[in-house]
Amino acid sequence: MTAPRETWQALTASARRHDWSGQIVFGVDPVDVRAHAGGRMVYIASPGAAFDPGEFSGVEADRHILIAQRAGGDLAAQGVCAVAPLALASSYLDADPGLPINRARTRARWAAGLRNASGVIWIPDVQGWADCADVQRDADWAVQRGVPVLVQAMGVAS
């Protein structure tokens, strides 16, 4: 599901306002991530690292999880070492719903550790993800530290 061009306006406006030229690259497909990553681990930014279980309906949560799983698989198929916290947390909770990672604060801290260990942030082109606080927070964190942010958003010029 491709995000409409308008949804990326906030991110492009921030990039221009803070002169993040070169740190946020738009139009990067999974095939191209490998060249940008240069062997570094890629963190797949998505909603859900900190969401409370009641935030999304079951169907909506399952859709976001499936998209994160596919994004990780797409990058793995290109030889990219990628981590999708939403997909990982889901698989851990499938094994044991009682794990502490089921609590939003614990999950956010755990996901931040994965993000901090990554050398690149990649944001798949999914409707609603550009406006998600978790995704914006990851992008802001990255550019403040000089970590490249790759955005799949098609048809958006940086």
pLDDT tens digit string along 45-73?
988 755 544 455 566 778 888 888 999 99
DSSP assignment, residue 148?
A: -
Cα 63 from chain centroid (whole Å): 15
First to last CA, the chain: 21
Find residue 26's DSSP bridge partners. 151
pLDDT of residue 89: 81
Question: 134-138: which pairs have CB atoms within 8 A and are 24 or more residues apart?
Answer: 134/45, 134/46, 134/47, 134/48, 134/49, 134/50, 134/51, 135/45, 135/46, 135/47, 136/10, 136/11, 138/43, 138/45, 138/49
Distant-in-sequence, close-in-space partners of 7: CB < 8 Å, separation ≥ 6: 127, 128, 130, 131
Enter the tokens of residue 127.
């409707």
pTM: 0.80
Q: Which amino acid is at 136?
A: Q
pLDDT of residue 59: 66
pLDDT of residue 132: 80
- Along the chain (158 residues), what's the average pLDDT of each consecutive run of 10 residues? 52 63 83 93 82 56 85 94 87 73 73 93 85 84 90 63
pLDDT of residue 127: 79
pLDDT of residue 70: 93
Q: For the chain, list the domains and their CATH numbers.
A: 5-151 (3.40.50.10400)
